[in-house]
Amino acid sequence: MTTTAYEPYEGTKLERLTADAAVAMARYPDPRSALLPLLHLVQSEDGYVSPDGIQFCARTLGLSTAEVSAVATFYTQYKRHPNGEYTVGVCTNTLCAVMGGDAIFDELSEHLGVGHDETTADGKITLERVECNAACDYAPVMMVNWEFFDNQTPASAKDVADRLRAGEPVAPTRGAASVCSFKQMSRVLAGFSDGRADEGVGAGSASLAGTRLAREKGWRAPSADSGQAVDPTAEAVGAGTTPITPGRTSSTDTPSAPPTGGTADTPTGREPSKEA
Ligand code: FES
């Protein structure tokens, strides 16, 4: 009896994945280092790390399926079952939890009828508890496909979820002008830019409060090796001995690119800034 080697994917899908995998692998001196982006790549096709995806990664990188699975099961961003179109992650880490994150998760869970790492029957939302997203100054924070929804309440979180399920345009409170799908986001994480990285503001007003105060007061951090006062907002290592240039001192001052999503005729649903 002859056996046929198992072929993950076929046709144009296989061609597309093979070409994209070659691009990802070319970024590393050792091709197997491209496993993490390749796992995101197969998620961008299948919506999760499927059995075919594991076979594809193993075959492409010269690894065993056990080695690929070991990595895929280690990181929570890799999904082992079909993910919803939107991952809604409620931060229930310490600060967000005490500021209302636990209440948001509980009410959202009851509202959607799903628990942690479960997906609504319509395939729209996978609900998760997530760990700190380095946005504690906007607690409690919710993420939709890793876009920020700051200063949430149970009511605002349920409203976002309802609009996502209804297919309405939804925008985070800062950052990109609209949320993309889980598959689109996975392709970006695989290293294929959608050109939207500079859309909207990155650091909001609350995150910049310390920088603002330092500028107002003329505070300087002491240099580690010379004792000189340095620019506390200098970007590059070694740039700290340059004097502060009024006007532009940090990447946070870089103007954001105009949004590609949402126009006056197609509102994004962005909530008004609480910092204005
Ligand atoms: S604890 Fe929620 S963003 Fe840090």
pLDDT digits (tens, 9 = 90+) for 5-53: 667 898 999 999 999 999 999 999 999 999 999 999 999 999 999 999 9
Alpha carbon distance 28, 61 (integer Å): 12
* Residue numbers of the domain that contains 112: 86-185
Residues 176 and 90 in one domain: yes
Residue 198 lies in a domain: no
pLDDT at 193: 94
pLDDT at 227: 59
The tokens for 257 are: 């690119």
Mutate which of 90, 128, 141 for ligand 1? The one with the most ligand atoms within 8 Å of its CB, which is 141
pLDDT at 232: 52
Residues 62 and 114 in one domain: no
Residue among 205, 209, 110, 195 at smallest CA distance from 150: 205
* Count of domains observed in the chain: 2
User: What's CA 138's distance to the chain center, in Å?
Assistant: 16
Residue 21 lies in a domain: yes
Residue 105 lies in a domain: yes
- CATH number, residue 66: 1.10.10
CA 143 to each of CA 18, 132, 171, 173: distance values in angstroms, whole numbers, following the listed order: 31, 11, 11, 10
Q: Is the pLDDT of residue 248 over 70?
A: no
- CATH number, residue 153: 3.40.30.10
The number of C-alpha atoms within 13 Å of 136 and in the hemisphere containing its C-beta is 8
Distance (Å) from CA 136 to ligand 1 centroid? 4
Residue among 141, 33, 16 at smallest CA distance from 90: 141
Q: What is the mean pLDDT of residues 223-239?
A: 55
Residue 227 lies in a domain: no
Residue 258 lies in a domain: no
Mean pLDDT highest for which of 167-181, 201-215, 236-250, 261-275?
167-181
Residue 2 lies in a domain: no
Mutate which of 128, 132, 149 for ligand 1? The one with the most ligand atoms within 8 Å of its CB, which is 132
As a whole-number percent, the residues of the chain with pLDDT over 70 amount to 79
Residues 102 and 158 in one domain: yes
pLDDT at 228: 60
Residue 80 lies in a domain: no
Distance (Å) from CA 147 to ligand 1 centroid? 14
Distance (Å) from CA 153 to ligand 1 centroid? 14
Q: Is the pLDDT of residue 97 over 70?
A: yes
Residue 248 lies in a domain: no
Please identify, by atom number, the ligand 1 atom nearest to the C-alpha of residue 132: 4
Cβ < 6 A, ligand 1 pocket = 91, 93-96, 132-133, 135-136, 139, 141
pLDDT at 204: 85
Residues 90 and 168 in one domain: yes
Residues 176 and 133 in one domain: yes
Distance (Å) from CA 138 to ligand 1 centroid? 8
Ramachandran sector of residue 218 (left: φ over 0; alpha: ψ -120 to 50; beta: rest) = left
Full-model pTM: 0.79
Residues 60 and 142 in one domain: no
Mutate which of 90, 91, 207 for ligand 1? The one with the most ligand atoms within 8 Å of its CB, which is 91
SS3 91: strand
